[in-house]
Structure 1
Amino acid sequence: MSALAEVLVPARLGRPFRWLLASSWVSNLGDGIALAAGPLLVASQTDSAFLVALAALLQRLPWLVFGLWAGALADRLDRRRVVMAANTARAAVVAALAVTIVTGHVDVTVVLVAMLLHGVAEVFADTTTSTLLPALVRKQDLGVGNHRVQAGQLTVNQLVGPPLGAFLFAAGAAWPFVAQLVCIALAVVLVARIAASPAPDGAPGLARRAPAEHTHVRRDVAEGLRWIAGHAPVRTLALVILVFNVTWAAAWSVLVLWSRDHLGMSEVGYGLLTTASAVGGIVGTALYGRIERRFSLATVMRVCLLLEVVTHLALALTTTGWLAIVIMAEFGAYAFVWGTVSNTVRQRAVPQRFQGRVSAVYLMCLFGGLVAGQALGGVIAEHWGLTAPFWFAFVGAGVTLALVWRQLAHIAHADADDETPPTGHAAEPADDAAR
């Protein structure tokens, strides 16, 4: 293995993780392409602001409707096969949409239906994919594994994919969806390769125990919810994610108007705000290994959440565009670190048999928080001005952090309560290059 490959994907993580990581990066490239091409396609079919907004809602609504069921199925079926089937369904939807574009039969109704169906398949694909990493690597390597997955999402989904999607759409409306179709198909092939190699010693692996008795999916859902309700650290972390996504989305829902009307920034300036957050994420990517080694998880969690509170305050107070760009870069850096740490803490604490259901609840908190926050942000801005959502976010996030501050230490080490601790090797030392 080359030195570069060892830096990107340490050998100790095992070959199955490499297939999973490659699948994640390829799939995220396709999603990044669609991130730009989807809205462009909707806008090319209608001038209605309501329909444009509805398209975004239809992609998130399935999380609230099917999230719990997706989690239950992930815990009772072969997870690798569920991911492959769900991604195959996504590919079928994208292929059908591309055909309607090429044949000239596309209209806004077709696009909206395609986005809804794609969103439903994505719920099952993403929920189950999130359970694969903790099954393929040892607990002590979850931080490294999440770091590599998050880094790929940042670079290909947010930096590479959207510009490529816009370029392909300019060349022809069908091309970005053909490219997304190729990416999804390749991701399915890569996931299929996971079973070809055993997981490292000490990793749970994808093998699942047969259920002791036949159960209904509703019973599995209820069992998962009871487990979360009875596990204080996991329950509290889910509530933190819900509240912080409500406050974040409330502020960010008016970001484009705030930058234009409050800061006097142009369209290019608004683009620089989003670019700055991605650049900050790259900085967070570069620093994460050192942060994880030098600071406790509890300290990292507290600092990240505190920076979120301070960021809302700073954006509420700032009146200059260049300072807002600096703040957004800082946001991108800590947001990447928080995403990696929160996923790692959750995956370490949750037994394998509950990974799907707990992951589904977390994703529902994330998307539910985004939907609720966006609705609140618009109402707040209409009544009290464009800076009001940032003040709302500052107060809401600040009060929440104060309430959970002392509990974060217990949350960070919730894996000590795991009733099925992993067996195998102890934590291996890792040098800078491996992290």
Structure 2
Amino acid sequence: MTDTTIPSTPDATDRRTIPADGTDGRPGVAGLGGAFARLWTAAVVSRLGDTLRTPALALLAASVTRDPRAIAAVVVAGQLPPLLFGLLGGVYADRWDRRRTMAGSDALRAVLVGGFALLVATSEVHVGVLAGCAFLLATLGTFFDAAAFAVLPALVPADRLAVANGRLQAGTAMAGGLVGAPLAGVLFAVGAALPFAVDAVTFAVAALLALTLRPIVASSRPPGPTVHRRVAWRAAGDGLRWIWRDRTLRQITLLAMVTNLATSGLIAIIVLYALDVLKVPATGYGLFMSAAVFGALGGGLLAGRIATRLGTLPGLRSVLGAETLAIATLAVARHPVPGAIALAVFSAGTASWNALSSTYGQRNVPVEMLGRVGSAQRTVALLAAPVGAIGAGVLGSAAGLSSVLYAATAVFALVTVVSWPMLHRGVEVESGRP
């Protein structure tokens, strides 16, 4: 399934720098060990801070100006860095100690957002400062995300990666949707600076937790020119080249990009669809959207079982089929209850897909390439998001909101059909790897 000029997997001694059982002698989340428990807590705490800060930035921007263009600029400033610097973050995740990269990124974010909280508490903040803060925080986040993705195979056994990724998906969904989002408005009402102060604390805690991990380097092999001596921007393309040469990984990445078009389109119009088509009361919209949170929580927890019973690649095919049925149900639903159930199932499928696709990459990409390959996959998927959102807006205005759901259903149905023979060809390859 892969180009024979590139090794399909590293030697077993290169895959981790701690004992092969993935534990450090203490129990952890889902029995995955104390090291994973600390990584999981760091990721969840960081996610909690993100979901406090993001709506608080929007509320603060609205209190400074009512110009939609200025408020949109703050939002866009937080969305650009993963596209601009995502590949570069992967390069440094492969060059530096991944534990220190995670800790350093969150420590810098703690200082930055802590200073911003002090500024908000003591003086009037210009919208340009809001945009700058959002941009810098998101830029540092690309380095944290790349290192966190690449570090996981060093903390848990290969046969437990699907469970670990699922627990990460479930934990971040819980922190973001069940805790962070409702709490953000309450904290902002108490004091505009308070959500940012709490966010600074979450980053500091995550940084300290990352430092408790053992030093984790990209490879036990001596540093080669592909890791340390090349210009960073040239090395940034290594992940894209690896994906292109590995047929199964290329197929997974392209499938994710296409479905992301439909998913981002759904996200763009979901509030209008819920209110106007499903007739969700405005006061019940938060409750309606909580279905997506519970769905993601369940999907993350199920990912390990799916991988165990079906295998990673067959599991991806099944998840796509479930998402197609869910979005088709959402397209024909005209009542909040079936709409919420369909949304929950779709969200569960998304969380399971993320966990299973991450697992495949972490098992089959050499450890010294994980940062670059993982970042390349995320960047390719993110490129589709604005296209899908814009397309949904144009289609919804021209043909009605339901047409967006029908189009999304068609996209998922096509991808499901195409993926069946694609991912089937990779099953045998995957089963022969650790």
Q: TM-score, normalised by structure 1?
A: 0.87
State how 1:176-255 maps to structure 2 within 5 Å. Answer: 176-195=195-214, 208-213=220-225, 214-255=229-270
Tell me, which stretches of 5 or more residues in structure 1 are unaligned? 197-203, 422-435
How many Å separate the matches in 2 of 1:34 and 1:414?
Answer: 43
Give the corresponding residue for 1:353. Answer: 368
Deviations 1:274-303 (A, max 9, x none): 101112233334544443433333332112
- Tell me whether 1:395 sits opposite 2:410 in the alignment: yes
Letter in 2 for 1:191: A
Equivalent residue in structure 2 for 1:26, among 45, 48, 55: 45
2:141 matched to 1:122? Answer: yes
Identify the residue that residue 4 of structure 2 maps to in structure 1: none
- The match for 2:9 is none
Query: Is the contact made by 2:268 and 2:389 (CA closer than 8 Å) also made in structure 1?
Result: yes
Q: In 2 relative to 1, CA 324–354 (structure 1 residues): closer, same or farther, beyond 3 Å? A: same
Note if contact 1:345-1:411 (Cα within 8 Å) is conserved in structure 2: no
Decide whether aligned partners of structure 1 residues 156 and 70 sit closer, same or farther in structure 2, where only a CA change above 3 A counts.
Answer: same
Count residues in correspondence: 406
Q: Counterparts of 1:290-309 in structure 2 under 5 Å?
A: 290-309=305-324
Kindly indicate whether the alpha-carbon contact (under 8 Å) linking 1:43 and 1:52 is maintained by their aligned counterparts in 2: yes
Q: How many angstroms does 1:129 deviate by?
A: 1.4
CA contact (8 A) 1:23 1:191 kept: yes
Report if aligned partners of 2:293, 2:347 keep a CA contact under 8 Å in 1: yes
Q: Equivalents in 2 of 1:47, 1:260: separation in Å?
A: 24
Equivalent position amino acid for 1:376 in 2: G
Compared with structure 1, are the counterparts of its residues 264 and 148 closer, same or farther at alpha carbon in structure 2 (3 Å cutoff)?
closer
Relative distance call for 1:216 and 1:210 in structure 2 (3 A) is farther
- In the alignment, the residues of structure 1 paired with residue 67 and residue 409 of structure 2 have an alpha-carbon distance, to the nearest angstrom, of 33
What SS does the corresponding residue of 1:387 show, helix, strand or coil? helix
Larger mean CA deviation between 262-271 and 166-175 belongs to 262-271
From 266, 276, 284, the counterpart of 1:269: 284
**8 Å contact 1:237–1:411 — kept in the other structure?**
no
Match of 1:153 in 2: 172
Q: What runs of 5+ residues in structure 2 fail to find an aligned partner?
A: 1-25
Is contact 1:302-1:405 (8 Å) kept? Answer: yes
Tell me if structure 1 keeps the 8 A contact 2:55–2:185: yes
Are the aligned partners of 1:130 and 1:356 in contact in 2 as well (CA < 8 Å)? yes
Distance 1:230 1:128 in 2: 23
Aligned to 1:79: 98
Alpha-carbon distance between aligned partners in 2 of 1:9 and 1:415, rounded to the nearest angstrom: 24
Q: 2:395 aligned with 1:380, yes or no? A: yes
Letter in 2 for 1:8: V
Distance 2:244 2:141 in 1: 26
Q: Does 1:8 align with 2:42?
A: no
| Cα distance between partner residues in 1 of 2:29 and 2:92 | 32
2:75 to 56, 73, 85: 56
CA contact (8 A) 2:169 2:296 kept: no
- Aligned CA RMSD, in angstroms, stands at 2.2
> Which residue identity lines up with residue 125 of structure 1 in the other structure?
F
1:130-179 deviation line (CA, Å, top 9, x unaligned): 11101222211111211221221111122111112221111101111110
State the TM-score, normalized to the length of structure 2. Answer: 0.87
Which residue, out of 113, 135, 155, partners 1:136?
155
Contact 1:251–1:377 (Cα < 8 Å) also in 2: yes
1:67 counterpart = 2:79: no
**Alpha-carbon distance in structure 2 between the residues aligned to 1:23 and 1:187:** 4
Q: Which moved more, 1:183-192 or 1:135-144?
A: 135-144
Does 2:132 correspond to 1:113? yes
